[in-house]
Structure 1
Amino acid sequence: MQPSHRKGSHSVFSIYLHLVFVTKYRQKVIDDSMLQTMTEVFQRVCVANKSKVIEINGEPDHVHLLLDLHPDNNISQLVASLKGASSRIVRKQHSERLARFYTKPVFWSSSYYVSSAGGAPLERIKQYIDGQPGVN
Structure 2
Amino acid sequence: MANTYTQIHIHVICAVKNRQSMIHSSWEDQLYKYITGIVQNQGHKLMQVNGMPDHVHLLIGYRPIQSLSDLMKNVKQDSSRWINHTRLAEGRFAWQEGYGAFSHSKSQVRKVISYIQNQKEHHKKKSFREEYLEFLKKWDVEFDERYIFKPVT
Q: 1:50 aligns with which of 26, 38, 43?
A: 43
- Counterpart of 1:118? 105
Render the CA deviation track for 1:80-126: whole Å, top value 9, x for unaligned. 0000111100112235x422xxxxx44101121111122479xxxxx
Q: 2:94 aligns with which of 107, 127, 134?
A: 107
Counterparts in 2 of 1:33 and 1:10: CA distance versus 1, 3 Å: farther
- Counterpart of 1:131? none
SS of the equivalent of 1:20 reads strand
Q: 2:52 aligns with which of 28, 35, 59?
A: 59
SS of the equivalent of 2:98 reads strand
Q: 1:32 aligns with which of 25, 30, 33?
A: 25
Q: Does 1:75 find its partner at 2:62?
A: no
Q: Normalised by the size of structure 1, how large is the TM-score?
A: 0.71
User: Amino acid of the residue matched to residue 83 of structure 2?
Assistant: V
SS of the equivalent of 2:81 reads helix
1:9 to partner: Cα distance: 2.2
1:17 to partner: Cα distance: 0.6
SS of the equivalent of 1:83 reads helix
Task: Please list every run of 5 or more consecutive structure 1 residues that lacks an aligned counterpart in the other structure.
Answer: 1-7, 100-104, 122-136
Q: CA RMSD in A?
A: 1.9
Render the CA deviation track for 1:32-51: whole Å, top value 9, x for unaligned. 23322221221221222110
Bigger Cα Rg: 1
More strand by share: 1
Q: 1:98 aligns with which of 90, 95, 102?
A: 90
Q: Is the 8 A contact 2:25 2:53 kept in 1?
A: no
More helix by share: 2
Q: Is the 8 A contact 2:35 2:79 kept in 1?
A: yes
SS of the equivalent of 2:65 reads coil
User: Amino acid of the residue matched to residue 112 of structure 1?
Assistant: Y
Q: Normalised by the size of structure 2, how large is the TM-score?
A: 0.64
